[in-house]
Chains A and B, each alone.
Chain A
Amino acid sequence: EPEVTQTPSHQVTQMGQEVILRCVPISNHLYFYWYRQILGQKVEFLVSFYNNEISEKSEIFDDQFSVERPDGSNFTLKIRSTKLEDSAMYFCASSSDTEAFFGQGTRLTVV
Chain B
Amino acid sequence: QQPVQSPQAVILREGEDAVINCSSSKALYSVHWYRQKHGEAPVFLMILLKGGEQKGHEKISASFNEKKQQSSLYLTASQLSYSGTYFCGTECGRQADGLTFGKGTHLIIQP
For the complex, give the distance between the alpha carbons of A33 and B89 in Å.
14
Shortest distance from the beta carbon of B89 to any chain A beta carbon, whole Å: 8
A75 beta carbon closer than 8 Å to chain B: no
The answer to whether A56 touches B98 (Cβ under 8 A) is yes
With a cutoff of 8 Å between Cβ atoms, the chain A residues found around residue B96 in the complex are: 31, 48, 50, 55-56
Q: Given that A31-B95, A33-B98, A42-B104 are known contacts, is A99 also in contact with B32, CB under 8 Å in the complex?
A: yes
Q: Given that A42-B87, A55-B94, A99-B47 are known contacts, is A91 also in contact with B41, CB under 8 Å in the complex?
A: yes
Which of A14-22, A77-85, A102-110 lies at the binding interface?
A102-110
A76 beta carbon closer than 8 Å to chain B: no
Q: How many residues of B contact A (CB 8 A)?
A: 23
Q: How many residues of A contact B (CB 8 A)?
A: 25
Query: A43-61: contact bitstring with B at CB < 8 Å (1 yes, 0 no)?
Result: 1110110100001101000
Q: Which of A45, A58, A98 makes the CB contact (< 8 A) with B47? A: A98
B-binding residues in A (CB < 8 A):
31, 33, 35, 41-45, 47-48, 50, 55-56, 58, 91, 95, 97-105
What 3 A-B pairs are tightest by C-beta distance, nearest first?
A: A55-B96, A45-B98, A102-B41
